[in-house]
């Protein structure tokens, strides 16, 4: 028998009861909002065919896919010549499946495979783990959860406005008040490239300006030069980059003016303006929402609105992001299905709520009462009481061993169970039980019905 100390694979972690209580609080709060807005839950397998996954995330993404060896003799059929050619030659023969890299590509596959049964527009949310063979570091794991919501089959801007409302509702439920939802539009960035005299180079432009917060304007200028932008174009861009953030209406007015000669740029300004108008028409307002023309996330993927959410004055980066795409399902042979989606970063939200002390008593014990006893007969008597408590919806457990009452009380205290029922010979003979509040020390003896009434009331009004 091996004496090797157990360990976890790098980039993975366990979640104990306290962490799970907090994570479930986050997930249930998000699910509640998704359902309120008409989204239906979907799950896809942990593994997909490698043919589904490869080629969807770029060369770097393909390298980060976890491959699954075929079952049985996976080397059967591999020749010496293929081994000599390296992993690229033998991989298709030894691994036909891989672990899910994200939730978007499996969702696209699902839509294509089920397009005749789905009702469009189709609104789905999905909360599942994904796996990436990345180098583990602080805040980056090889297994982590994604929490996505998408609407496909419509290009209506109502969807974008609803995303803003959902983010606001979730953050309000968490007690978060100091945050910014940055919003931009891919078409505005395309128009900006035209405006500075570099049409068709919006991808290179955006890869560079996306680094503004990290490396500053001077280094971004150098990178633009390296990417082939002429000095005149950079000079034309400089005042736009340095323009101070103002009211959304003022920023929209500024870009409507400078992008007036760009058809696509003007379209982006109009779309963004309509989203903000729809937000207000739906009972929301523009608080926390900021038009950031330098926001440039995932531009090879998105084609319209893009979002990124940051909690201010914390050490964590963005906690949510997304945008509109016009051809999600095209890679699977179903072109021109427009959609818009976004994702909550569950792990980052957890860190934010922990840093800001906003979990409160979320990790409070799920058990309302522990039945304690002085011996085997008393424990047998308590088993019937246990069933009655649970039938009333009172979370209860019985101490399973005949141990000293002090040890049983210590168990309840360590598990943060607020009440204990004490059963001794006196209680058995009188058909009554003693209820003790471990926090206040108060206790009283009464018939079981009265004790149950007290516990039900305390469960409904825990602060009374």
Q: Which CATH number fits domain 369-460: 3.40.720.10, 3.90.1150.10, 3.30.300.30, 3.40.50.800?
A: 3.40.50.800
Instruction: Report CA dihedral (50, 304, 29, 320) to the nearest 10 degrees.
Output: 80
How does pLDDT run along the chain (464 residues), one tens digit per residue? 567 899 999 999 999 999 999 999 999 999 999 999 999 999 999 999 999 998 888 778 888 999 998 888 877 777 787 777 777 777 777 889 999 999 999 999 999 999 999 999 999 999 999 999 988 887 788 999 999 999 999 999 999 999 999 999 999 999 999 999 999 999 999 999 999 999 988 888 888 888 887 888 888 888 898 888 999 998 999 988 888 888 999 999 999 999 999 999 999 999 999 999 999 999 999 999 999 998 987 666 788 999 999 999 998 888 999 999 988 888 888 998 999 999 999 999 999 999 999 998 887 778 999 999 999 999 999 999 999 999 999 999 999 999 999 999 999 999 999 999 999 999 899 988 999 999 999 999 999 999 999 898 887 776 65
Question: Read out DSSP for 327-364?
Answer: -TTGGGT-----EEEEEE-HHHHHHHHHHTT--TTTT-
pLDDT score recorded for residue 440: 92
DSSP string computed for 140-163: B-SEEEEEEEEEES---THHHHHH
Q: Residue 299's pLDDT is what?
A: 60
pLDDT of residue 463: 62
List the one residue out of 379, 377, 361, 373 whose CA is nearest residue 418: 361
Give the C-alpha separation, 233 to 238, whole Å.
9
Beta bridge mates, 318: 310
Token readout for 36 is 């309120």
- Check residue 277 and give its pLDDT: 97
Give first-to-last CA distance, the chain, whole Å.
Answer: 55
Q: Tell me if 326 is assigned to a ligand binding site.
A: no
Residue 47 CA to its chain's centroid (Å) = 20
Domain boundaries, the chain: 179-311, 369-460
Q: 301 among the known binding-site residues?
A: yes
The pLDDT of residue 438 is 92
**62 labelled as ligand-binding?**
no
In whole angstroms, how far apart are CA 2 and each of 7, 9, 431? 13, 18, 53
Question: pLDDT by residue (tens digit) across 65-104?
Answer: 999 988 888 777 777 877 777 777 777 778 899 999 999 9
Report yes or no: 290 and 182 within 8 Å, Cβ to Cβ: yes
Which tokens go with 317? Answer: 């980066």
Q: Which CATH number fits domain 179-311: 3.40.605.10, 3.30.930.10, 3.20.20.70, 3.40.640.10?
A: 3.30.930.10
Would you say the CATH fold of 369-460 matches that of 179-311?
no
CA atoms within 13 A on the CB side of 382: 27
Q: What is the pTM of this model?
A: 0.88
Reading the block at residue 214, the tokens are 């990290």
Residue 292 in marked binding region? no
Is position 103 annotated in a ligand binding site?
Answer: yes
């Amino acid at each position: 028998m091996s004496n090797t100390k157990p360990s976890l694979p790098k980039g993975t972690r366990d979640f104990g009861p306290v962490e799970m209580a907090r994570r479930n609080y986050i997930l249930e709060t998000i699910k509640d909002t998704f359902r309120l807005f008409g989204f239906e839950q979907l799950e896809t397998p942990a593994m997909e065919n490698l043919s589904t996954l490869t080629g969807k995330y770029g060369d770097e993404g393909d390298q980060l896919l976890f491959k699954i060896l075929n079952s049985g003799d996976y080397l059967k059929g591999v020749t010496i010549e293929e081994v000599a050619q390296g992993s690229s030659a033998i991989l298709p023969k030894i691994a036909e499946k891989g672990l899910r890299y994200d939730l978007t590509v499996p969702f696209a596959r699902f839509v294509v495979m089920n397009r005749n049964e789905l009702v469009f527009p189709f609104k789905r949310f999905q909360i599942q783990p994904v796996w990436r063979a990345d180098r583990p570091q602080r805040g980056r794991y090889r297994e982590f959860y994604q929490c996505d919501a998408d609407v496909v089959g419509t290009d209506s801007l109502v969807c974008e406005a609803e995303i803003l409302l959902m983010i606001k509702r979730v953050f309000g439920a968490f007690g978060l008040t100091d945050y910014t939802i940055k919003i931009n539009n891919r078409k505005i960035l395309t128009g900006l490239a035209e405006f500075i005299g570099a049409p068709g180079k919006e991808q290179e432009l955006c890869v560079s300006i996306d680094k503004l917060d990290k490396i500053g304007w001077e280094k971004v200028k150098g990178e633009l030069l390296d990417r082939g932008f002429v000095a005149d174009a950079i000079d034309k861009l400089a005042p736009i980059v340095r323009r101070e953030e103002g009211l959304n209406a003022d920023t929209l007015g500024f870009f409507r003016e400078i992008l007036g000669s760009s058809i696509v740029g003007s379209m982006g300004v109009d779309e963004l303006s309509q989203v903000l108008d729809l937000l207000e028409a739906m009972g929301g307002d523009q608080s926390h929402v900021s038009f950031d023309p330098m926001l440039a996330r995932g531009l090879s993927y998105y084609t319209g609105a893009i979002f990124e959410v940051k909690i201010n004055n914390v050490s964590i980066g963005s906690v949510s992001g997304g945008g509109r795409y016009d051809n999600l399902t095209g890679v699977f042979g179903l072109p021109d299905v427009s959609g818009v989606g976004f994702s909550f970063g569950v792990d980052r939200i957890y860190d934010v709520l922990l840093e800001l002390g906003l979990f409160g008593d979320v990790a409070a014990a799920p058990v309302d009462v522990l039945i304690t006893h002085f011996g085997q007969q008393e424990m047998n008597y308590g088993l019937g009481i246990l069933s009655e408590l649970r039938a009333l919806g009172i979370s209860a457990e019985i101490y399973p061993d005949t141990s000293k009452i002090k040890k049983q009380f210590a168990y309840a205290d360590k598990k943060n169970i607020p009440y204990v029922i004490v059963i001794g010979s006196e209680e058995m003979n009188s058909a009554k039980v003693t209820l003790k509040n471990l926090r206040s020390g108060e206790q009283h003896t009464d018939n079981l019905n009265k004790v149950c009434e007290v516990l039900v009331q305390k469960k409904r009004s825990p602060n009374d």
